[in-house]
Structure 1
């Protein structure tokens, strides 16, 4: 006898602006700036009252986990830290702005945005490897949290990998094809059956 579908809601929220402003931060572990804290608190305050959460999941990086800790403490929710949801490592581009990369590496930056699969930054994590670890973490938590509502505080690159999987976007278009601003919230609904699970994007922005 087939089981009734189980529905899970996962709210992906990108961190706010970190100290030092926009740059290719990757594994550089900067905390949120004052502006970043304001962005995140405003984003959470805008969530409808009926969109409650049962648990918070976070990347271990400071710009994510510190805010996740605040939300979990204020709402009395369990917090799960997931290392597989940390941002992609940008190698030699870590800590540089787009302007600095353009000055140093010329059109290599535009080639990365055009196709990050074949244009990995010097010393950076390969996009396929990044995708594999992010989706391993995503698949674990969508199963572990089946039937619940969760806030997942993570990174722009992580959200791009997950939404590319949800929407069937080719990996080569996953960065340029999806805009994920600071404190952006993307809600994914997952319907689990006894044979499969079906993912759909309900909101993004």
Structure 2
């Protein structure tokens, strides 16, 4: 389980090769991009900053949980660490507070409006939302393995399957203009699902594509 209580993915089980490999090929190689140039379309995806301690160890998915008390400093650090030197055509964000506060600060600095889209929300965990992972495991046993083992069919009661979740993120991506630089503030799950789907990475390796809170990754094309 994720020690940072992100509630994004539960398991990471590489199937062969060194840790971080996919079918024997390093993930870094599968996802390598040219750091010295920009393609016709580039996305800079930033994961929201750290959430409050009160939800540590809980599944919070689409629940609108607050950021930790030091969120202003966290947001400033995330902005400083991100590569914002190039002009962006637009900012997109999940509407949940933990993303919205960062997106608004960036938008204010870059003098760009923020477009909010529900498809950039974290995975919907249904009845599991805000329960502790220990309680979920006590009630369901190994059912949570289905998030990765059965991405097409398994969903927590009232929630999304992994495939449904990925499809809505990909639907958002498909509507983007074909050219331009876009900044996206979202959650670990959508970032991993988008990176994994576009690169053809198996679902069981998607957890390795999740950046730390407050960190950015880039997708070209």
Instruction: Please give the TM-score of this superposition, normalised by the length of structure 2.
Output: 0.72
SS in 1 for 2:196: helix
Q: Pick from 142, 159, 167: which aligns with 2:191? A: 159
Are the equivalent residues in 2 in contact too, given 1:120–1:126 (CA < 8 A)? yes
Cα separation, 1, equivalents of 2:59 and 2:107: 28
Shift of 1:155: 1.1
Cα separation, 2, equivalents of 1:181 and 1:49: 18
1:181 counterpart residue number:
212
Shift of 1:90: 0.1
SS in 1 for 2:45: strand
Query: Higher strand proportion, which one?
Result: 1
Q: Pick from 71, 75, 81: which aligns with 2:106? A: 71
Shift of 1:106: 2.0
CA RMSD of aligned residues (A): 2.4
Cα separation, 2, equivalents of 1:125 and 1:49: 33
Are the equivalent residues in 2 in contact too, given 1:64–1:153 (CA < 8 A)? yes
In the alignment, structure 2 segments of 5+ residues that lack a partner are: 1-38
1:197 counterpart residue number:
none
Are the equivalent residues in 2 in contact too, given 1:15–1:36 (CA < 8 A)? no
Question: 1:133-152 counterparts in 2 under 5 A?
Answer: 133-143=168-178, 146-147=179-180, 149-152=181-184
Q: Residue 78 and residue 24 in structure 1: after superposition, are their counterparts in 2 closer, same or farther (change >3 A)?
A: same
Deviations 1:113-166 (A, max 9, x none): 4444443222211222222211111121253xx22x221001111112110122
Q: Pick from 182, 185, 200: which aligns with 1:168? A: 200
Question: 1:67-106 counterparts in 2 under 5 A?
Answer: 67-106=102-141
Task: Note if 1:13 corresponds to 2:52.
Answer: no
Q: Residue 169 and residue 142 in structure 1: after superposition, are their counterparts in 2 closer, same or farther (change >3 A)?
A: farther
2:23 counterpart residue number:
none
In the alignment, structure 1 segments of 5+ residues that lack a partner are: 1-5, 191-205
Are the equivalent residues in 2 in contact too, given 1:11–1:187 (CA < 8 A)? yes
Q: Residue 176 and residue 76 in structure 1: after superposition, are their counterparts in 2 closer, same or farther (change >3 A)?
A: closer
